């Protein structure tokens, strides 16, 4: 009986998906249309994305320290990607934002504009230490 229980436990733990925690941190967006810094973090049991800074030359946003900063409400890890079916930006659940960790310091983010994919590269914000 102990052998069966041990085999069953090993199977359960080996089948669980481990979340890629390299997604957490602050990210600079490489875009021709705007400049932004976002932060992805865990809040309670949810993974959220927050706006720290955004500027598209018509709108400028700064972090407020409130829930208004959250634009990715509940990222889920699915098939080695993070998806957000209900982002604050699109208000839709038909076409999700997907975030793929390409490297510990690089994310590939795909969103949809008029049903066409728009791909951005986000790079980890590096903190420079004063000398």
For residue 120, pLDDT over 90 is answered with: yes
CATH number where 110 lies:
2.40.128.520
Q: What is the mean pLDDT of the chain?
A: 81
- Whether the CB-CB separation of 39 and 27 falls below 8 Å is answered with yes
Expressed as residue numbers, the domain containing 64 is 21-124
Which residues does residue 103 pair with via DSSP β-bridges, in sequence order? Answer: 106
Q: What is the pLDDT of residues 104-116, one digit of tens each?
A: 999 999 988 888 8
For residue 12, what is the enclosing H or E element? helix 2-15
Which token pair is 51?
A: 């706006």
> pTM here?
0.75
Quick check: 99 and 21 in contact, CB under 8 A?
no
41 within a domain of the structure (yes/no): yes
3 in a domain, yes or no? no
Quote the CA–CA distance of 50 and 68 in Å, as a whole number: 9
Indicate the number of domains in the chain. 1
Domain annotation covers residue 62: yes
pLDDT in tens, 34-58: 999 999 999 988 999 999 999 999 9
């Amino acid at each position: 009986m102990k052998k069966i229980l041990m085999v069953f436990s090993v199977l359960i733990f080996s089948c669980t998906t481990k979340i890629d925690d390299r997604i957490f941190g602050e990210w600079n967006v490489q875009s021709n249309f705007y400049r932004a810094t976002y932060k992805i973090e865990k809040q309670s049991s949810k993974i959220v994305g927050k706006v720290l800074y955004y500027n598209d030359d018509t709108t400028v946003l700064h972090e407020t320290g409130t829930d208004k900063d959250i634009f990715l409400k509940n990222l889920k890890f699915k098939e080695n990607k993070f998806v957000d079916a209900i982002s604050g930006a699109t208000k839709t659940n038909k076409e999700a934002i997907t975030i793929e960790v390409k490297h510990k310091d690089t994310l590939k983010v795909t969103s949809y504009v008029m049903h066409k994919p728009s791909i951005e590269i986000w790079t980890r914000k590096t903190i420079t230490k004063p000398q």
